[in-house]
Every structure is written in structure tokens, then in C-alpha cells.
Chains A and B, each alone.
Chain A
Amino acid sequence: MSVTTNETVTRSESQGPAPVKKPQRRGVFAAGQYIPYTLLLPAVLALVGVLAYPVYRLIDLAFQNVNRYALLAHPERAEYIGFDGFTRVLSDNAFWEVVLRSIYFTAELVFISMALSMLIALLLNRVSNWVRVTVITVMMFVWAIPALVNGQIFRWLFSSNGGVVDYIAFLITGDETWKHYDWFADPTVGLYVVGAAVIIWGALPFLVLGLYAALTQVPKELMEAAKLDGANPFQAFRHVTIPVIRPFLMISAALSFIWDFQVFAQIYSLRNAAPEPGYRTIGTYLYQQGIVSSRYSEASVISIVMILMMLAVLVFYIRQMLKIGANER
């Protein structure tokens, strides 16, 4: 309402070529410097409510003993136990197993998806138009499928009963034993082969299309010049292409890391809503401890460790983004 009243004041005063940045106005709201804060207010309120306060609660919980729903329902019975929660989690071998598994798994995912998408993006630059359109169309469809459904599809593809991957393996090798091969019996195979396949399959579209778009930004003249100077394709790629697409490479590697490290939905649905211990990466472990077992405090400790691990890796990404953001302005 104050908006409308101020508007009438504004109208008479800003008849001249008043610049937007410094409106010559009076009144509390129209005083100019308050406008941006007013515009920001809803966003700030929302983010404080759903992010800042929960993060505060996260830290608070990590120092408490709220490991049953009863304690959550009756906060007066919760106790502060200092660093005991941290000691318990950090001295748990299962936790370190999960952390290590997450690191290996993330490294595998980021490396393979980045390498594959780079190769496919380079390939897209060399194929006929209709082939490129075909590949991109397929990528868009893959991209559109929710992560949860991805897991289900792959569970079906790799099923030991009537699964098509087993059958294709049988067709290729002629070996009957393939027909009932259980890909999920050994979690190492299930996670690092099937799990990785789902996640990489789902991640490729974003990476390929992004890298392809980035590659089209490489000036043709530069490549020609490099070739004239006697650079072989590999050298031209290293010294011309890579520097041009570096910003996107950095961003997509960082994003892959963020997504792959906390991956949950794919593994969850791949294992039919009940991932076995061997499938526990930090995302599934957190869910298992926090939501399934109601260990809110222990899960909070795990969350904090997870955030710290991610931040450690992402500090350089933040700096990179700030540089890019600074150039944009």
C-alpha cells in the first residue's frame, strides 16, 4: 500500500530525466537506498528460514544426543554432549569405509563422465549435421528422465531375471551362464559398474551439451593458425581448445563433483528403496542413519563432515566462479 502512495509523489518529482540509480524522492520507502533491500527481503527471509536456520540447527544437533525420535519430540530431554557425537562417528570404522567408498566412487564418476563427455563433444564437432541433431535429441530425452526413474530403469536392465544386459551378454558370448548373472550380488560390481552406469548415463547430457556449446566458442581462425604453425591435433587441442573452454571445464567438473558426491536417488531406486551396506556412499549412509534410524545427532555430524569435505574441494571453484562473475559485470 505504501507503494501506491509513494508512486504519486514520485510521479511529480521524476518528471525530468531522473536516473534510475538515484531517484530524487522522499518518504521512507522511496528514499532510494531502501528499494534494493525491500526487493531482497523475501529472498533473504526465505533463505534464512530454509537454509541459515537449518544449518544453525545442524550444528546445534551435532552437539546433542538426539538419536531417537522421542528426544526430538521432547526437546527438553535432549542433552548437550559436546564433542562426544563427533568422537563416536569419527571412531566408527563403518563411517570411514563409507567416506572412502564415496571418494573412490566420486572420483570414478567425475573422471569417466568428464572424459566421455569431452570425447563425445569433440566427436559432435566432426559429424554430419543430421547425426549431431540425432545425438543431441537423444541426450535431451535422457536428460528429461528423473534420477529416481533412471535407477529403476537400470535395475530392470541389469535384472538377473529377464534382464536385457544379461541376455545381450549371452548373445555376444554364447555363454548360457550369463543369463542369470546377478549384477547386484557383489556390491562392488553393483555400485562401481551398474551404479556408475546409471549416474554417468544421466550426467552425460548436461556435460556433452555444455562442452559442445563451449567448443563452438573456439575460434576457427585460432585452430587454423595453430595448424599452420605445425601443431598436431593433440597440441592444438591442448594449447588452443583447452584454454578457451577452461571456464566451462572448471564449472562442469565442480558441478559433477557436487552432484556425484551427494548422489542418492539413483542408488536408492537401483536397490529398490533398501540399499545394502555395500552400496552406502555418503548420501545413502546419511539417509540411512538420519531418516531410517532416527539418529539425528549422528547424521548431523556426518553432514558437517560432508559439508567440510565438499568445501575443501570447492574453495578453488568458488574463486573461479567469482572471477567469471567479475568479468561478466
Chain B
Amino acid sequence: MTDVLPTAPEAQQSALPPVKKPKKSKETEVGRSGAMTWVWNTIALLIAVVMAFPIYWMVLTTFKTNKDLISQDPTFWPSSLSFDSYKTIFDDKDFLPALQNTLILTLGAVVLGVAVGFLAAVAVARFNFRGRSFFIVTMLVVQMVPLMAILIPLFVVMNSAGMTGSLVGVILAYLVFTVPYVIWTLRSFIVNIPAELDEAAMVDGCTQWGAFFRVILPLTLPGLVTTAVYSWIQAWNEFVVASTLLNTAGTKTSMIWLTFYSSTPTRAADYGSQMAGGLLVSLPVIILFVFFQKKVSAGLTAGAVKG
């Protein structure tokens, strides 16, 4: 599991060989010399090293022995590998239940958010109706309401509905940020599917719903994946709302577990286990990024109104 992460620093080495290839010379523009490219490369690599260092340090820490961990002169390379930190995490009886809660929560938020958002996106992209512009503008404004600011009333409302301490309440709360984003992003995907396509399908005997399921839905699939990945990341990493709404009862998400875990007196100084916990909790999102790299960056940067 953990071998996913170290690829970041290693990527530099493995990518080294092609440097000598002068294939870029064709593209070289006026006033751009090889020497300058070399300088830029060095600066860029330096930035990559600085950016990657905290992650490297986190991964390294998880494998350090206790003796190395408390040393005032940290070593930049493990002298010997120790898996004690991981053992501590898996021995924690709260770790796996918290992970399970997060999984349920995230799946619920993704499925519900994407389904609800998709329907609305179809409406906005394919139909002209009174209040359409108003709805689009509202979606835009809604995304600007700071989550922090509605934390208190959200807690109050969920409290009076008896939903604090329940995962369902948190799943519903997450619709605040998933639905507007899904609508906004899927809208542009659906607009780009020519209406002639579903018309043609209907000429060929499809009902409107048939055309919807056989034409629009498959063609929107890439958009659905992008928004689902986004919603997944948001829900998985969310902390403030979950900790507020779940604090009263025994349910915890991984993020809450992580803060509780590291702030208890016995654990506060155990950086090895903290880093191991942090890494394990981040893995589902890291893996998503590895698999959907192109989609994530394209979807989030192009369509992102909120990330």
C-alpha cells in the first residue's frame, strides 16, 4: 500500500535518461538556448524537491525506529526499517471503524450528490424554462457561502432533527458542496452533447427516457467520473462538518480519529504513528489521483468553481 507514495521523489531519477536527447531543439524558439534550459531545469527540479520533501519526510518518518524518531539529529535516510508505527495504528481499535465510517460517508455523499446534481444538470443544460438563469446564478453564489459560516446553523438544524451523530446527517450536509459543483460541471458536459443525437435516437424509436438512458447518460460518463472523483476527494478529506456533527456521539471519521489520535497525551509526541496514520488516511485519495491524474487536474482546474 505504502509503495504508492515514494514514487514522487523517485520519479526524478527514473525520468533522468531522456535528458540528453536533443529532440527539443526543434521546438527551441528564438533566444532560448540550451544553457538557459539547463538553468530552468535546475530551478524547476529544486522546486520539485522542496515540494516533495514534506511527503518524503512523512513517509520516511513512518519507517523510522523509535531511537531515530527522538534523535535531535534526524537522518535523511532510514538506517533500518521499522514497521512499529504501522503496528501501533492497526492495534488502535478505533482506526478501522473510523475508516469504515469514512467509507460509508464518502460513498453516500458521492452517490447522492452526483445523482441529484446530474438530474439538475440535465434540466439546466437541455431545457429552457422559467427561472433557469436564476437557478444557474444561485448555484454560483451558493458555492461562495463559506462552509465555516454555516457550520453553527447546520449543527443547530441537524441537532433539532436528531441527526447529530448520524452519518446520514453528514451525508446530507455534504450536498452543500457536492450538488452545486456537480451541476455546474456536468452542465457544460451535457451542453456539448448535440441535441440532434437524442432527437435521432427518438426518430429511431427511442422514448425520451430511452434516449436519455442510451444517449445522454453514456456520453456524460466522463463528466460523471470527474465529478464523482471530485466529490469523493471532498467528502473523504472533509473534517470541520464531520467533526461538528459527529462529535456528540461515538461515531468518528478517519479525519476526526486522526486529530483525536494525535492530541491524546500519550500519542501527541509519537510522530511516527501520527505520520503513518496520516498516510493511511490519505491513501484512498492518493490512489484516486494516481488513477485519474489527467481527469482530476483537467476537471478541477477547468470546471472547478470550488475545489
Contact = CB atoms under 8 A, between A and B. Distances in A.
Interface of A: 3, 7, 10-11, 14-21, 23, 33, 35-37, 39-40, 42-44, 46-47, 49-51, 53-58, 61, 72, 75, 120, 123-124, 126-135, 137-150, 152-154, 156-157, 159, 161-164, 167, 179, 201, 204, 206, 209-210, 213, 224, 227, 248, 251, 255, 258, 261-262, 264-265, 268-269, 272-274, 282-283, 286-287, 290-291, 296, 299-300, 303-304, 306-307, 310-311, 314, 317-318, 321-322, 325, 328-329
Nearest to A19: B199
Interface stretch (B81-89, B90-98, B138-146, B217-225): B138-146
Given A40-B120, A134-B11, A209-B297, A147 B54 contact: no
A123 B180 CA distance: 34
A327 to B, nearest CB: 12
B16 A290 contact: no
B239 A17 contact: no
B237 A148 contact: yes
Interface residues of B, number: 127
A268 B256 CA distance: 12
Contact of A17 (B5, B15, B203): B203
Nearest to B240: A264
Interface in B267-290: 268-269, 271, 274-275, 278-279, 281-282, 285-286, 288-290
A58 B145 CA distance: 12
A141 B126 CA distance: 37
Given A131-B40, A206-B301, 14 more contacts: A35-B127, A43-B117, A57-B156, A128-B37, A134-B12, A145-B286, A209-B301, A251-B305, A255-B304, A272-B263, A272-B268, A303-B152, A321-B305, A325-B136
Nearest to A321: B140
Nearest to B45: A131
A146 to B, nearest CB: 4
Given A40-B119, A47-B176, A140-B293, A201 B40 contact: no
Contacts of A58: 149-150, 152-153
Interface in B28-56: 29-30, 32, 36-37, 40-41, 43-45, 47-48, 51-52, 54-55
10 contacts: A10-B207, A36-B129, A42-B115, A162-B69, A164-B74, A206-B300, A213-B297, A269-B259, A272-B263, A318-B144
B77 interface: no
Contacts of A213: 297-298, 301-302
B58 interface: yes
B120 A42 contact: yes
A123 B44 contact: yes
